[in-house]
Each structure stands twice: as structure tokens, then as C-alpha cells.
A = this chain, B = another copy of it.
Amino acid sequence: MPLIPLEEIQLLHNYICQSVNDPKRIQILYALGEQPMHVTALADLLDMPQPTVSRHLALLRQRLLVTSERSGSVVVYSLTDPRILDVLDDMRRILREVLERQAGVLDSPSQS
């Protein structure tokens, strides 16, 4: 199998990897997975300043991970594709297993 073209890797990096490269943005994605929300509600729920949330949402929207829609007096954000959370869950699962495996190795002293 040939290597993935560098161009596609750049796309992947620019859009998704970079998007999830901030703990607060990951929190925002999970929160929006529960239900679409407007900026202030997100800021309250996650205990972040509103400008911070707004900046992260702008980035996530630019990267196409979330979409926004005005509803009355507020702007409601939602996930463009909820499967992004499945991907994050897969990552968590892999990490957990790797950490456990590693812990197991450390626990049992090498039988020399």
C-alpha cells in the first residue's frame, strides 16, 4: 500500500487534528454532542469566559467541525458530524488500553 499523499495528510492535520489539539475544544465538542447550544450556555456549562468559547467556536466552524445557526436572539452551535465523538472515544479507549498494558509491564518486575 502506497503512502497517503502528503496533501491529504495536510488536509487531515489542518482540519481535524488541529481542531482537537486543545483540551477546551475537546470539551466543547463533547458538550455539543449532548445537545446543540448557544455560546453563553456553553460558557456557563464549561466555566469558560465567553470570548474564549467564541474564539474556539470560530476555529471549529472554520475547520468545519461545527455549524452555527441563529435561533431567535442566540446563535446555536451544533456538531457538523457527530461521528467525531466516536473518533475521540476510540482514542480514549486506545489510550486507556495502552496505559493499562504499560502499567502491567511496570508492575511485574522482570523475572531475571
Which chain B positions have C-beta within 8 A of A23?
6, 9-10, 13
Q: A17-B20, A64-B98, A90-B83 in contact; A26/B9 too (CB < 8 A)?
A: yes
Tallying the copies of this chain within the complex gives: 2
- Is the CB–CB distance between A90 and B90 below 8 Å? yes
- Is the CB–CB distance between A15 and B81 below 8 Å? no
Q: Within 8 Å of chain B (Cβ to Cβ): is A41?
A: no
Contact with B along A77-99 (1 / 0, CB 8 A): 00011011011101110110111
Which residue numbers of A lie inside 8 Å of B, CB to CB? 1, 3-4, 6, 8-13, 15-18, 20-23, 26-27, 30-31, 34, 45-46, 64, 80-81, 83-84, 86-88, 90-92, 94-95, 97-99, 102
